[in-house]
Amino acid sequence: MNAQLQPRLSRRAMGLRDLDAVLAVETAAYSHPWSRGNFIDSLAAGYQAELLEDSAGGLVGYFVAMPGVDELHLLNITVAPAWQGQGHGSALMQAVRALAQQLGLATLWLEVRESNHRARALYARLGFAEVGLRRGYYPAAARREDAVVMSLRVAAPEGPAHVV
């Protein structure tokens, strides 16, 4: 049998001690990466931030999401270039969706570069709809790039209703 063994992956909360590894992935993955300050500010604000790691503690990917009134806004989701194309982006997106459900939030929102066809296709496969355009949202080499705004209605978690 020639089955290739897949490493065991796990998720955990992102902390300040993780930022060197996160920034190494961020700069390898993007032409205009988030800064250390962006991550520090997100963690200080209490945004939801999780890492996906292999069994040796190597960073596979991460996400940062901001809860709001009845919504979760995905601010950053990244898979390390060496791990791309193996389903880890889908797994992280499922974790984000599960988080929205756990928090009782009805809608998941995100922006994606208009030119990022691979990510847009992933989001569409996961049920996201393109609902708007933010002109000049992202920095780019020659000029700013538009962002496609996408949303997904999130089903309520199974189980008894919460009464307030």
Q: Enumerate the active-site residues.
A: 111, 123
CA dihedral 84, 88, 89, 94 (to 10 degrees): 180
In the 8-state DSSP scheme, what is residue 104? T
The separation between the first and the last C-alpha atoms of the chain, rounded to the nearest angstrom, is 56
Give the span between the Cα atoms of 164 and 35, in whole angstroms: 40
Dig out the tokens for 62 from the structure: 């991460």
Strands 107-113 and 145-153: antiparallel
